[in-house]
Amino acid sequence: MKIAIVFGGSSYEHEISIVSAIAMKDVIKSELEYIFLDENREFYHIPTKTIKSKLFSTGEYKKCDKLNIKKGGFSKKAMFGEKNVEFDIVLNLIHGGDGEDGTVASLFEFFDIKYIGPRVGACSVSFNKFLTKGYASSLGIKTIPYKYFTKFDEISVDEFPVIVKPVTLGSSIGVSIVKTKEELSYALDVAFEFDNAVLIETFVPNIKEYNLAGYKIGNEIKYSIIEEPQKADFLDFDKKYLDFARTERVSVANISDELKEKLKKAFATIYNTTFNDAMIRCDFFVIDDEVYLNEINPIPGSMANYLFEDFDASIKELSKSLRLKDKIKISYDYVNKIQAAKGK
């Protein structure tokens, strides 16, 4: 099994995707190919042996072979014609824009490339926090109370503190905790810098948080362990960043079996058929023993490898279960009918 890791992207989380990708070397035993998508949306083939973060910050990656995306995969110019990059499946490891918004998922679908990662609909549901709320609610999963505003709306908040979040973007970018009315307009300016719509959520201090990852084989969800992440009031970009380099296993959250079951049930409900073919991490809150969905990470930092008993085996199992979509058979019945009716 040879896995091609696609990372980078035109994304505010470009850097952490690089760190995530490099972390995979320590936790995946299969042979890896590294395919970097730079900010100009050019693909490069990065040698697995010598990959390191400095290669990208210095721009040195531009000396690597440029790749062309095409039916079934990627190719580079060779002495005679072109040469394909050999791999069995792609692991989409582009965090944020391009990776989690459906862009490269669509590219892979369009070019018939098998990949681990969220499909387009799954991306929309998790990348847009307003859609996440609606999706969870349709499935009977609780979320923290919120209001949704666009740039042109009149915005009023009755009770503080609140969290102001741009509806898209991950990793706490553009997110502020607002404690007073006076701080609100600055927080809105920041959020609207990144997006044309925001969520304003009730801020619940000292909330219990639990993370659970998993994937589906057939109709069975394979769960990771449940972690209670260490955190400050809320994670800023710096702290979250370290998460992406994590490769050490964490300890299991010290909670009742009943709560564990509740969290797993919520995970399965959310995973549904929407997240098929992806390995996702759900971040839950628990208030008075009730489970609330905080967010869905359809491409979690370093693939949440540290939550799995045997991450390498899990990635292999998921890889083997992937299928390309069946081709749609195009018929011209209606066009022919019209032709016939016209007597042409």
The answer to whether 338 contacts its own copies (rule: CB under 8 A) is yes
Kindly report the number of other CB atoms within 10 A of residue 17's CB atom: 28
The answer to whether 331 contacts its own copies (rule: CB under 8 A) is yes
> Which residue's CB is nearer to its own copies, number 121 or number 161?
121
The answer to whether 15 contacts its own copies (rule: CB under 8 A) is yes
Structure tokens at 186: 């600055």
> Which residue's CB is nearer to its own copies, number 205 or number 330?
330
Cβ 197 to its own copies shortest distance, Å: 5
Identify the residue among 80, 182, 206, 334 touching its own copies (CB under 8 A). 334
DSSP character at residue 152: T
Q: Where in 155-214 is the site for its own copies (CB under 8 A)?
A: 196-197
Cβ 117 to its own copies shortest distance, Å: 13
Separation CA 70–CA 10 (nearest Å):
20
Structure tokens at 144: 């923290």
The answer to whether 243 contacts its own copies (rule: CB under 8 A) is no
What is the pairing mode between strands 31-37 and 2-8?
A: parallel
Q: Where in 36-95 is the site for its own copies (CB under 8 A)?
A: 39, 41, 53-54, 56-57, 71
Q: Where are the beta strands (DSSP E) in the chain?
A: 2-8, 31-37, 43-46, 65-70, 73-77, 82-84, 89-92, 115-116, 146-150, 162-166, 176-178, 197-202, 208-217, 220-227, 280-287, 290-297
Is residue 83 packed enough to be buried (19+ CB in 10 Å), middle (13-18) or exposed (0-12)? middle
Applying CB under 8 A, which part among 73-81, 135-143, 221-229, 297-305 lies near its own copies? 135-143
Structure tokens at 145: 């109370």
The answer to whether 143 contacts its own copies (rule: CB under 8 A) is no
Applying CB under 8 A, which part among 77-85, 207-215, 268-276, 301-309 lies near its own copies? 268-276
> Which residue's CB is nearer to its own copies, number 105 or number 163?
105
Is residue 51 packed enough to be buried (19+ CB in 10 Å), middle (13-18) or exposed (0-12)? buried
**Which amino acid belongs to residue 269?**
T
The answer to whether 295 contacts its own copies (rule: CB under 8 A) is no
CB 216 within 8 A of CB 271: yes
Cβ 236 to its own copies shortest distance, Å: 12
Note the residues at the interface with its own copies (CB under 8 A): 10-12, 14-16, 18-19, 39, 41, 53-54, 56-57, 71, 97-98, 101-107, 109-112, 120-121, 123-125, 127-128, 130-131, 133-135, 137-139, 148, 150-152, 196-197, 219, 238, 241, 272-273, 276, 327-336, 338-339, 344
